Amino acid sequence: MLKQSNTYTNHPAAEKTTRVPKLIGIALAPVPLVLIQPVLARLVRDIATRRSELFERLGPHTKTFFMIDVDELPFVLRLLPDPKGPKLTAHRRRENIEFGASISGPFMTLFTIIDGNSDSDAMFFSRDIRIGGNTEAAVCLRNAMDDLEGSIIDDVLDIGGVAFAPLRLVMAHLRSKENTI
Amino acid sequence: MSAQKSAPHELDKAFAAPELVCPAGTPAALRAAVDAGADAVYCGLTNATNARNFPGLNFSVQALEASIPYARERGTKVLLAVNSFATAPGSAMWREAVDIGARLKVDAIIVADIGVAQYASETHPDLRLHLSVQAGASSPEAIRFYCQEFGVKRVVLPRILTVPEISAIHREIPCEIEAFVFGNIGMMSEGRCSLTNYVTGLSTNMDGICSPASEVKYAEDEKGNLSAKLGNYEIDCFEKGESAGYPTICKGRYLTPARKEAYYAFEEPISLNLSSLLPELIKAGVTAFKIEGRQRSRSYVKSVVSAYRAAVDNIMEGNEPDLSTLISLTEGGKQTQGAFKSKKWR
């Protein structure tokens, strides 16, 4: 019987890649959330239009609020994946926001899962990511995201256009690190 | 993954390469399995007619119809699991699932229920039938019955048999043998387990769902201990840093007055990994290797199927397979050869 020895977070390359998300977090910390909200609102609207197939697998959980807590970011995200009125908003952690299901973990781990390059179950079993609240909703969201052709991160970068050019470079850098793992 | 030079598992040239049968919970996972080298993929519809009826998983009829050509064009077969047990008065849903499979010309239907098998064999006599592990057929007599009555062409054996026992069965049955080689390993009583039903009211065998996610609750305390509940029952509690598991009753840790500490009363959270037994299984008459995991991600499917594709190819070339990388994808970071190696595997 062998014990697990190769989780994402204990890989040497993971040590390097965590620096970039930390820097992103530091850079975003002084930014007022009021400036971020319109960007998030546009992103979620456009993705809902482009990726309408996402909602089919969510079933009743298109009405569930998901709290996404990326460890390195200075805020949490709240997502309502409702095809008729999708919402994505940022909130400070001190706010007492209501949600149906939560997913949290380090940036790089969540990044590789969304990119389809990492197994979310294995990441959960190894305690690299955490889920809370309505487990069925979290499982539905995982299955819906996992069935998307390509990566939703590329959609975000595409929607952002020229304004997201620096972010595109950062993501390319992170993906090059991701491929070394 | 590279093959080593030694050839300790030389197979007689008479042995054909086994078919690698791989899970597909979504169209994306199907494409991942096909691209990774699956000889066949198995999938289910989005309802209770299959034993992985999990939320957000499986194929609508349209999605299945759209996915089949992707597999076919790459030489991969598509098998449709209709392997839960039909229940009155809703058995029309199972008949409809069989009809859908026949209409879409899937390569085989995987059945467990004798009523479903009867309907399929009578209504679609040209449709190939495989007997699901859910049927729990583990004796030559039982397997021959399904072959004679319904024309079953392949049996998926329950995970309760040693390799010599499989070899003995092979000599006494008129159909192919498929054996699980990797993935979740459960309660050794496929098709008969009622533990989930007892706690949640939903049946693994009739509703197609073991430990429904709607009944699962995880809660982490301030010390980082993670509690996993199914319904009102705490199935396990993992210390900070300890590998966690999904709260299936058969893999829970329980407290009893007779023991000082919580213990695994039935099974441990552990994955089957028969990578080192593959040559013996081929010699025993197994013609298809099955990877479990329709509920897992496309990343998992890609990793496991790629590894097993390379392993099977290496073995057929007389080389030693290396599947050490798969440990990170096992449940609880632990693996076993289960009953295939010994009845005393625990």
Summarize pLDDT for B290-346 with one digit per residue, the tens: 999 999 999 999 999 999 999 999 889 888 777 777 776 776 667 888 888 887 766
CA neighbor of A82 nearest in space, from A43, A55, A118, A57: A55
- Whether B167 contacts B145, CB under 8 Å: no
Question: Using CA atoms, how far apart are residues B53 and B187, in angstroms rounded to an integer?
Answer: 18
The answer to whether B146 and B137 have CB atoms below 8 angstroms apart is yes
Cβ-contact B236, B245 below 8 angstroms: yes
Pick from B44, B52, B26, B43: which is nearest to B208 by CA? B52
- Name the residue among A3, A116, A144 with its Cβ closest to that of B333: A3
Predicted pLDDT at B269: 81
Tens of pLDDT, residue by residue over B47-75, are 999 999 999 999 999 999 999 999 999 99
Q: Is residue A3 part of a domain?
A: no
Query: B6 pLDDT exceeds 60?
Result: no
Mean pLDDT score of chain A, rounded to an integer?
87
Rounded distance between C-alpha atoms, residue B10 and residue A41, angstroms: 61
Query: Residue A91: inside a domain, yes or no?
Result: yes
Q: Is pLDDT at B117 greater than 90 in this prediction? A: yes
Q: Which of B202, B297, B323, B324 is the mutation pick for testing A, counting most A CBs within 10 A?
A: B297
**Of B153, B26, B133, whose CA–CA distance to B84 is shortest?**
B133
Region B226-254 average pLDDT: 92
pLDDT in tens, B148-176: 999 999 999 998 899 999 999 999 999 99
pLDDT of residue A8: 34
Give the CATH number for residue A159. 3.30.1050.10
The confidence score (pLDDT) of residue B3 equals 44
Beta bridge partners of residue B79, listed in sequence order: B42, B108
Q: Taking 90 as the threshold, does the pLDDT of residue A14 lie above it?
A: no
- CA quadruple B34, B36, B40, B41: dihedral sign: negative
Mean of pLDDT values over A132-147 = 95
Instruction: Give just the sign of the alpha carbon dihedral B201, B204, B207, B210.
Output: positive
Name, in order, each residue with C-beta under 8 angstroms of A123's C-beta and a sequence gap of 6 or more.
A7, A8, A105, A109, A113, A129
Record: contact B243-A118, CB cut-off 8 A: no
Confidence of residue B37 (pLDDT cuts 50, 70, 90): very high
Q: What is the model's pLDDT at position B12?
A: 60
A4: pLDDT strictly greater than 50: no
Among B45, B53, B37, smallest CA distance to B95 is for B45
A122 Cβ under 8 Å from any chain B Cβ: yes
User: What is the pLDDT, as a whole number, of residue B13?
Assistant: 64
Residues of B in contact with A132 (CB under 8 A): 218-220
Do B50 and B206 touch, CB atoms closer than 8 A? no
Which stretch of A51-55, A125-129, B2-6, B24-28 has the lowest confidence by average pLDDT? Answer: B2-6
Percentage of chain A lying above the pLDDT 70 cut = 88
Residues constituting chain A? 181
The CATH classification number of B19-185+270-341 equals 3.20.20.70
Asked whether the predicted pLDDT for residue A1 surpasses 50, the reply is no
List the single residue in A7, A130, A143 with the smallest CB-CB distance to B26: A143
Distance, in angstroms, between A167 CA and closest chain B CA?
Answer: 25
Contact A120 B327 (CB under 8 A): no
Residues of A in contact with B25 (CB under 8 A): 143
**Residues β-bridged to residue A76:** A91
Residues of chain B with Cβ-Cβ distance to A4 below 8 Å are: 243, 327-328, 330, 332-334
Is residue A2 one of the residues assigned to a domain? no
The string of pLDDT tens digits covering residues B186-206 is 766 778 888 999 999 998 888
Give B140→chain A minimum CA distance, Å: 32
Total domain count for chain A? 1
Residue contact B218–A149, C-beta within 8 A: no
In this prediction the ipTM stands at: 0.88
Query: In this structure, is the dihedral angle defined by the CA atoms of residues A43, A44, A46 and A52, taken in order, positive or negative?
Result: positive
pLDDT value of position B209: 87
How much is the pLDDT for B326?
Answer: 72
pLDDT digits (tens, 9 = 90+) for B256-291: 999 999 999 888 888 899 988 999 999 999 999 999
Q: What is the pLDDT of residue A13?
A: 43
Residue A136: closest CA among B7, B70, B217, B96:
B217
pLDDT at B7 > cutoff 80:
no
Residue A46 included in any domain: yes
Give which of B287, B320, B308, B318 is closest to B13, Cα–Cα.
Answer: B318
What amino acid is encoded at A35 in this protein?
L
Gap from B270 CA to chain A (nearest CA, Å): 9
Interval A93-129: pLDDT, tens: 999 899 999 999 999 999 999 988 889 988 998 899 9
Q: Give the range of the structural domain holding residue A127, as residue numbers without chain letter.
A: 8-178
Boundaries of every domain in chain B: 19-185+270-341, 195-264
In chain B, pLDDT over 90 holds for what percent of residues? 70
Question: Which residues in chain A have their CB less than 8 angstroms from residue B329's CB?
Answer: 119, 122
CA distances to A56, B67, B97, B117, B129 from B60, rounded to whole Å, are 10, 10, 11, 22, 21
Mean pLDDT over B16-30 rounds to 96
- Say if A141 falls within a structural domain: yes
Closest residue to B218, CB basis, from A132, A143, A149? A132
